[in-house]
A and B are shown apart, each in its own frame.
Chain A
C-alpha cells in the first residue's frame, strides 16, 4: 500500500498544480499510515530531489526518448509502470488539462475507480469517499471508490501547498515505451499568467461596450499579476480571444479572486466561476444577478469606477 503522485511538467518545468498534488498526496499517505512517492515523465529541468520537501520519499523518472511529449497512451503506460513499482493503492493526479487526458485512461487500465475534480482529502472513516464538484460548481458529490486501487484527480487551486524539509531519492526507469503521436506545433500566449493556473483573474463583460475599452482590465490584471477572462457574449463578439471565455461552455476556474466588470452574472457564466474564493463585481445595475454571488461589489459605471480603482492599486503597489 502506498500513494503515488503524478508530477505534470511543461517544457521541463513542474507545474504549480503538481506541487498541490504532491502536498495532497503526502497528506493522503499520512492519513492511510503509508508512504508517498511520485512519478514524472519526460525531460525535466527542475531539481527533482528537492521535491522531497512536499513529503515524497522516492521519485520515479521515466525519461525514455519516446516520452518527450505528452501522449496519453504512452504516458498512461509510464504511470502504470511506476504505480506497479510503488505498489500504489492511491494515485493522485492534478485535474488540469493534462490530468484530464491521463487520469481516466489510467483508471480504465488499472480498473481503479476515479474521482475527477476532487476538492478535499478523502474520508476514510467508512470506506473511501472523496468530495468532488458537480453540476458545474453548483454542488458537490461525495463519491465512494470501491475498487482496490483509487485515483484522485485534484482540482487545481483547491489544496494549499505546504513545503517542509526533505530530499527525495530519484530512480530513473528505462521503460522502452514510445509515443505514437506527434506534436506539430505549440502555440502559447507568452508573458501572461495562463487562466487555468491563475490565482487572480480580472474579467470583463459586454458592459465594457467594445474591445477598445479593455485597457483598464489589462492594466489592473498586469498590476496585480492576474490573468484576464471574459464572458461568452464578449468572446462570441470577437472582442476577446476564445480561450478567455469562462462559464458553463468555456473554461471553469477556481481562482482566489475573480474580479468581474460589466458582466451580468448569468447562471451559465456563474457555473464557470462560482468556485472562486472571492468574487468582486462592478456593475451599474444593482439588480444584476452577479451581486448575489459576490463578496464585494460596487454598483456603478465601470468607466468611472475602474480608473479610480487602477489609480489606487497603482499607489498600493508603489507604481505611482
Chain B
C-alpha cells in the first residue's frame, strides 16, 4: 500500500489578516506558519495509523511550493511518513498544484492520496477533486472515517445533516476532516528522525494556471454590538422580530 499525503503551509489560525501592495498580497510580517490543520490532524495521522496496522505501508508526503515550505514538511515528517517530496513552484493556482500532485501520484502509482478538507487560507476544498480527476480515480470528499479492506476502501463522508458510508475501489483520493483521526503531538524521537528522512525537491511539470488572484478585501467593520439589559431579555426578542426581522 502506497499512500501520498498532501501537506500545505498556512498562516497560524490566530494570524492577523492584512494585505499589502494595494491589496494584492497577504501581509506576511510576523505571521507564524503551520501545517494546514486538516492535513496534519486528519490526513497525515490517519495515514500513520494505517501504517501502524500494516507496516508494509509506505507514506510519502508531498507539498507544492517554494523552499519556505521545507520547515513545514519537516514538521510533518516528525509526526510520521517515510519521505517527502517538494515540487518546487510558487504562486500556483489550485489547478497547477493539483496537476503537480497528480503527476507524482500517477508516476509513483500510489493507491491512496489523502488531502485535508480545505486549506484554511484559500478555502478551496478543490485540490483533492482535481487530483482525482487527473488520476481518473475515485474521490470521496469531506471524509470522517476511513477503513481499508484489500483493494477497496470503506469511507464515511459528510452529507447534509448526516453521513453516508461509501465503498470505492483503489486508487482513491480522499479529503479528510474531523473524525478521521485524533490530533497527535510529535515526540522527540520523531523530531530527531525527521532530520534524516529524505526530502526530495523536484521541478514542476509545465501547466498553465486557470485562475489568478486579482485582489483581496477585508469585510466591512461591524457597526458595533447593540446591548440589551439582562433584566429585560424580552427586548432582545422584540428587536430580533421587529428590527432584524429574523424570528
Contacts and interface: CB of A to CB of B under 8 A. Distances in A.
Query: Does A associate with B in a complex?
Result: yes
Interface stretch (A20-28, A42-50, A57-65, A99-107): A99-107
Contacts of B95: 107-108, 111, 113-114
Interface in B98-114: 98
A129 B160 contact: no
Contacts of A98: 159
Interface string A244-263: 01001110100011000000
A182 to B, nearest CB: 5
The A interface is mostly helix, strand or loop, or mixed, namely: mixed
B237 A316 contact: yes
A134 B23 CA distance: 14
Nearest to A184: B165
B226 A100 contact: no
Contact of B230 (A113, A141, A196, A305): A305
Contacts of A105: 129-130, 132-133, 139
Contacts of A144: 211-214
A104 B130 contact: yes
A33 B124 CA distance: 29
Contact of B120 (A132, A257, A271, A296): A271
B94 interface: yes
A146 B129 contact: no
Interface of chain B, main secondary structure = mixed
A183 interface: yes
A134 B94 CA distance: 14
Interface in B1-38: 11, 13-14, 17, 19, 37-38
A72 interface: yes
B123 to A, nearest CB: 6
A274 to B, nearest CB: 8
Interface in B138-174: 138-142, 144, 154, 157-169
Contacts of A197: 160-161
Given A142-B213, A312-B234, A187 B163 contact: yes
B138 A72 contact: yes
A172 interface: no
B210 A189 contact: no
A114 B211 contact: yes
Interface string B116-134: 0000111111111111111
Contact of A143 (B125, B139, B211): B211
B92 interface: no
B228 interface: yes
A212 interface: no
Contact of A300 (B120, B124, B233): B233
Interface stretch (A163-171, A203-211, A286-294): A286-294
Contacts of B127: 104
B56 interface: no
Interface residues of B, number: 82
A242 B178 contact: yes
Contact of A104 (B128, B138, B212, B234): B128
A184 B167 CA distance: 7
Interface stretch (B47-55, B69-77, B192-200, B217-225): B217-225
Nearest to B99: A108
B246 interface: yes
Contacts of B41: 249
A296 B126 contact: no
Contacts of A55: none
Given A104-B127, A108-B95, A135-B121, A224 B247 contact: yes
Interface of B: 11, 13-14, 17, 19, 37-38, 41, 93-95, 98, 120-134, 136-142, 144, 154, 157-169, 175, 178-179, 209-219, 222-223, 225-230, 233-234, 236-241, 244, 246-247
Given A140-B216, A242-B179, 8 more contacts: A97-B160, A105-B139, A107-B130, A108-B129, A114-B211, A188-B161, A257-B240, A297-B227
Interface of A: 10, 15, 71-73, 76, 95-98, 100-109, 111-117, 129, 131-136, 138-147, 180-189, 192-197, 200, 224, 242-243, 245, 248-250, 252, 256-257, 267-268, 271, 274, 278, 280-281, 291-301, 304-306, 308-309, 311-313, 316
